[in-house]
Structure 1
Amino acid sequence: MAYTPNSSAPKADFDVIVVGGGPSGATAANDLAAKGHSVLLLDRAGRIKPCGGAIPPRCIEDFEIPDELICARIRSARMISPKNKAVDMPIENGFVGMVNRETFDEWLRERAEKTGAERRVGTFVRLERNEADQPVAVYTDAEGAEARASTKLLIGADGAKSKVLKQGLPNVKPAPYVFAYHEIIKAPKANGEARANYDPTRCDVYYQGRLSPDFYAWVFPHGDTASIGVGSAKKGFSLRGAVADLRRDAGMEESDLVRHEGAPIPMKPIKRWDNGRDVIVTGDAAGVVAPASGEGIYYAMAGGRMVADAVHMTLLTGEAKALATARRTFMKEHGKVFFVLGLLQYFWYGGDRRRERFVKICEDPDVQRLTWESYMNKRLVKREPMAHVRVFFKDLSHLLGLAKT
């Protein structure tokens, strides 16, 4: 149903302003424009987030991602232990899509614009309020001049260090985060040392303390290019040095560098997403990146859609309490997955002995099947209860050191 403005309400420049044009912000802007709202999508130009770029089949289906944006189709993952033991986890009857964030994010922004959102290039500076007590986004435009736009509702999709969160929800603690850094390189050619270690249909994940003391490192294919990256929350740890070590270990030291990026990646949904009035956050600002895996694209887009639904209901009814439904809906659908992944990260990333045992567990067919089914469909697998029981006791035996590595 299209939105019909209330003629008695104070006139704002826009019904909604979305700060940040990544997957979450662009999805929220697109959905709200499709519902008939006037939307401003404000985004900084040229920023690309470090990201492995994986999107599961559910993301492709739910958000109608066209085939031309899928730059690689992953058929397996290889888990590599501190002792360089490699365990392959093949995907049965499906694939994980890989996207380049440079083109993927821009396509999402263009889709929102085609749907009816107005796009502006600018950097959010601060939140003010006008005489009608409506939010006013103050930003610097592409020429560096300060500009303003008022709105009925403000959505902050401006990253883990969100200014919208800090200013609009000052009493809400931001999510804890790891720092991520990756280098996009030209994919190894069909021969040579690098190609011998590289499969364009396989993601390699390194669980080695020397590459990341508290997270993991990766080599993810992107068609003509590849992402080589690492994450860590440990202060003083050299992410660039770890990537250089990984490139050398993988025989990709001489591969041509295309670009590099670094940014904080949140690891836990924050306790509250809205101020109960007219400001709400989504995506990294809301902390919706999965622990352990660091997966964020699907959860960002799902969260953006839920925020858009909550904002739409608020605009229709004038009831600001509707904003809180976004987080409740997200946690109802994905909270258990985040909880389980948080436990996994806590138990298995706490040292190389545990990482060695974790990679050993990945050899198990039950673990592989349940992992892929949950990942591909974005929900915990409820069937096959005995498989869960078997996995539980195998996990326990590894934690207690009763299983051989």
Structure 2
Amino acid sequence: MFDVVVVGGGPCGATAAEDLARSGARVALLDREGRIKPCGGAIPPRLMADFDIGEAQLLAKITTARMISPSGRRVDIPIENGFVGMVDRKDFDPFLRARAETAGATRHTGTFLRVDRSDGTAVVYRDKATGEERRLPTRLVIGADGANSRVGKAEVPGAEAIPYVFAYHEIVAAPGPGEYDPDRCDVVYDGRISADFYGWVFPHGSTVSVGMGTEHRSADLKAATADLRRAAGLAGCETLRKEGAPIPLRPLDRWDNGRDVVLAGDAAGVVAPSSGEGIYYAMVAGRAAASAAASCLATGRVADLRLARKLFMREHKTVFRVLASMQNAYYRSDARRERFVSLCHDIDVQRLTFEAYMNKKLVRARPMAHVRIGMKNFAHLTGLVSETYV
């Protein structure tokens, strides 16, 4: 009999399992294993501090972000007083699962099938090694099984209606010296690559993640990525892996079923709008779900499962709202994207953007900078400034 079964062993589920195991709970971690989510792999210094991630997990430290507009304008933004860490989910996720197991979580490998309540609550799964159905009796379930969460669709009202972007990337061998910079991330805002999101070229040391996302189901993701590789000078590089998956666009209004299930991570929709950043927010959501589950186990109050969403949104609601507004304002056309990249020339925008990224909160230390950014943002959106603004 487990206190909690965590379904999904990505950064979210592994974090929830580790936290609960360290608190003394009896935890099972169920994961399919072998599946690698398409992901640029960016993590901020705050994640490393909050979740005790050492630099040994990093494949690269990014010190510059290049924004590329539809017309080919390039804006290089230096990352002052910090960096963007790069990980490969192929290695990072197993590291987190192993750490959860070391903390005391019991590992199970297989595919979630259902929550069965015919004889107490149990998670039923198909064992990967034998193909047989097995049961994990439990008091609570945390669904951390991605944007197409089977747990969510079966157990939490509204989970089946979550909107998402289709993401696709290719991991390629890094080229030699040249135009490619192993310390720079490229973010491409171009309707020819993505009509409503963006493309990316993210260094991973000896490899590179090249990909894009879009909400349009008719888009040819592989063709767009091939175009992006040609533009980045990576067409001739060896392709090592190809991966695709849906990425949720906004947090669900409800994360629990009011009984014995709570969602977290992509299953709860916690990917940052505009940037698509997910690893940090997944791990925060996993920790929030673990806290909610621990509270419910201690008090017996199923209402405590609501704490998962409350804890997460209390800290990140404003950032998500600002990023969603920016995506809605600038991603709708190439003309808007051109203006967005122009806005990135601004020193206030550059500094506050990466201070907020690294610290994961809106920076309040420079109130006049916020005022100036608001005025410049209005000017760009209304066309009061030229697109050639520098």
Q: What TM-score range do you get, normalising by the shorter chain?
A: over 0.9
Match of residue 336, structure 1, among 292, 297, 318: 318
* Alignment partner of 1:301 is 2:266: no
Matches of 1:323 and 1:65, distance apart in 2: 27
Residue identity in the other structure for 1:177: Y
TM-fit CA distance, 1:402? 1.1
1:18–1:29 contact (8 Å) kept in structure 2: yes
Could you say which residue in structure 1 is the equivalent of 2:44?
56
* Alignment partner of 1:388 is 2:370: yes
Residue identity in the other structure for 1:176: P
SS of corresponding position for 2:109: strand
Could you say which residue in structure 1 is the equivalent of 2:144?
157
RMSD: 1.0
SS of corresponding position for 1:404: coil
Residue identity in the other structure for 2:352: L
Could you say which residue in structure 2 is the equivalent of 1:319?
301
Could you say which residue in structure 2 is the equivalent of 1:139?
126
Stretches of structure 1 that go unaligned for 5 or more consecutive residues are 1-12
SS of corresponding position for 1:211: coil
2:157–2:257 contact (8 Å) kept in structure 1: no
SS of corresponding position for 1:29: helix
* Alignment partner of 1:85 is 2:67: no
TM-fit CA distance, 1:171? 4.4
Matches of 2:185 and 2:367, distance apart in 1: 29
TM-fit CA distance, 1:175? 2.3
TM-fit CA distance, 1:335? 0.3
Match of residue 399, structure 1, among 376, 381, 384: 381
Matches of 1:48 and 1:90, distance apart in 2: 30
Could you say which residue in structure 2 is the equivalent of 1:187?
174
Match of residue 184, structure 2, among 202, 226, 231: 202
Could you say which residue in structure 1 is the equivalent of 2:272?
290
SS of corresponding position for 1:228: strand
Fraction of identical pairs, as percent: 58
Alignment of 1:5-404 (within 5 A): 13-132=1-120, 134-190=121-177, 195-196=178-179, 198-404=180-386
SS of corresponding position for 2:386: coil
TM-fit CA distance, 1:173? 4.7
Name the count of aligned residue pairs: 387
Where has structure 1 moved over 4 Å in runs of 4 or more? Answer: none
Stretches of structure 2 that go unaligned for 5 or more consecutive residues are none
The alpha-carbon distance between structure 1 residues 83 and 397, as it changes in their structure 2 partners (threshold 3 A), is: same
Matches of 1:263 and 1:375, distance apart in 2: 24
1:183–1:229 contact (8 Å) kept in structure 2: yes
String of CA shifts for 1:7-63, please: whole Å, max 9, x gaps.
xxxxxx211100000000000000000011111100012100000000000000000
1:16–1:152 contact (8 Å) kept in structure 2: yes
Matches of 1:324 and 1:36, distance apart in 2: 21
